[in-house]
Amino acid sequence: MAAACNSKYFRPVGRSKLKKWAELDTFERTFQAGPELRKGNWAKDVFKNTNPITAELGCGRGEYTVALARLYPERNFVGVDVKGARIWKGAKASNTEKIVNTAFVRAQIDHINDWFEQSELEEIWITFPDPQPQDNRARKRLTHPVFLERYRQFLKPHGLVHLKTDNTALFEFTMRVLDELKLPIIQQTHDLYQSPLYEGILQVKTRYEEIFTDKGENIKYVCFQLI
């Protein structure tokens, strides 16, 4: 059950979302504060097994987190997003369907290292993040070197990072970062739907992906290693 909210991690909000936030507190494996209680203890205290753990950062409604958990019951998945009213949908589905290899965290990605211990995760998914198009907000992009260094602190050696986006500028920015840091690229495509990679989990569509594809946007994807 989730702990009470901590003002260190959240900004004040209106009352319209309080009902869903309150319901989050009743869901199993859904947390809104208290990272110090989870850090290093996800396997033992949350999932109660030693299966590999993957996190979806900026998970929104948790479509990928839930889909991954259904496809890979032998692995564990944690969806992270600052918007409680968004993760409510994925957390609700997981609890209703008793998908025990999922968990959800309401937290800012800036504080992600408060939640995971060194080498605690094996993979990260970043699905349709805010591209932060302004030049002065480049450091807020979830594939900026600042964030990659944070991920490196809790990913296992050679851990994988997956990015799926409609935004060409963000994708090209990410590819430049990977080149500059000499990080190995496992797979990539500028047009996922016309690519042989379009199968399995990559066929899962988030709400935002459906909006973008309806507008004719190409979906870009890259999988790379942090070494």
- 84-122 pLDDT tens trace: 888 999 999 999 999 999 999 999 999 999 999 999 999
What domains can be seen in the chain, in order of their start residue? Answer: 26-226 (3.40.50.150)
0.85 surpassed by pTM: yes
Q: What is the pLDDT of residue 144?
A: 98
Q: What is the pLDDT of residue 212?
A: 85
Active-site annotation holds for 135: no
Residue 69 CB burial class (10 angstroms; 0-12, 13-18, ≥19): buried
The catalytic position among 130, 166, 179, 191 is 130
Q: What is the pLDDT of residue 8?
A: 52
Residues ≥6 apart with Cβ < 8 Å to 209 = 127, 128, 164, 166, 219
pLDDT band at 14; cut points 50, 70, 90: low
Q: What is the pLDDT of residue 3?
A: 42
Q: What is the pLDDT of residue 159?
A: 94
Largest Cα separation within the chain, whole Å, is: 47
